[in-house]
Amino acid sequence: MLAIFKRELKSYFYSPIAYVLIGFFILLSSVFFLPNLTEGNTWFTGNLSTMAVFLVFIVPILTMRILAEDRKNGTEVLLITSPTNLTNIVLGKYFAAFSVFLVMTCITFAYPVILMIFGNPPMPQIIGGYIGFIFLGAAFIAVGLFASSLTENQVIAAVVGFVGLLIMWVMDGVSNMFANVLWGKLSMILDWFSLLSRYQDFSAGILNLGPIMYYVSFSAVFLFLTIRVIEKRRWSQG
């Protein structure tokens, strides 16, 4: 797994994709951060929620090539027939993308530092918001990785990942809107896929084990599905 992780991480920073995505994310985040310096630093937790929305667009681009490119170039066959376990391959690629996301997130730590210099920001909410943001990003990346495993076309992988994340992002609103008309079990299914509802506790500075386990379980499910998709292709190829 470590060898796969190092190779994928290097591939991100040997190409423009990591620098472009990180730069684009920081640019957008900075634009929405500027009002904090004039309107009061208590709004920063709202900035984290806005940054989370940006991930719906950025993560599919970050993950679109990670498996689709191997399949298109034919190197996937070498990977799945190598002695390395499929789980290690998928986890290595996952943690490489997650590491890029962490680099991107760590740069934004400059925002609360600036707020601390000029005022007294609500640190429990900021810390909780960042913890939730990281877990949310981990779940997003797992979905993007799964989308990339479905096709050899990077554009299609990005579109599938974006649509999937967008649906999961608005699932909470859909579930609440139709709570009175949907069957109980269907409403529970929709609620399980709602990534937004669990994030609210983090934004309020509340750290509960439930939302943390939810994001970990959510990520694990999509990593498992990714492994099954690749494994199915391995058996179909003999």
CA–CA gap between residue 155 and residue 162 (Å, rounded): 11
pLDDT at residue 237 is higher than 60: no
Q: State residue 184's pLDDT score.
A: 56
- Give the pLDDT score at 190: 67
Over the stretch 47-98, which tens digit does the pLDDT of each residue have? 888 888 899 999 999 999 888 887 777 666 666 666 668 888 899 999 999 9
Of the pLDDT bands very low, low, confident and very high (cuts 50, 70, 90), residue 170 is confident
Which conformational region is residue 54 in: left (phi greater than 0), alpha (psi within -120 to 50 degrees), or beta? alpha
Strand ranges inside 76-196, DSSP E: none
Give me the DSSP letters along 22-54.
HHHHHHHHHHHHTTHHHH-GGGHHHHHHHHHHH
Q: Which is more confidently placed, 169 or 61?
A: 61
Q: Give residue 157's pLDDT.
A: 93
pLDDT at 82: 66
Work out how many domains the chain is built from and give that number. Answer: 1
Q: Residue 141 above 90 pLDDT?
A: yes
Q: How far apart are the C-alpha atoms of 72 and 201, rounded to whole Å? A: 41
Query: Which of the two residues, 122 and 187, has the higher pLDDT score?
Result: 122
Q: Tell me which residue of 136, 128, 132 sits closest to 112, measured CA to CA.
A: 128
**Least confident stretch, 1-5, 60-64, 136-140, 172-176:** 172-176
CA-wise closest residue to 103 among 132, 125, 134, 127:
134
The domain in which residue 89 lies consists of: 2-236
The mean pLDDT value for 154-158 works out to 93
pTM of the model: 0.88
Mean pLDDT, the chain, integer: 83
More confident position, 222 or 118: 222
Reference 212, options 145, 112, 131; nearest CA is: 131
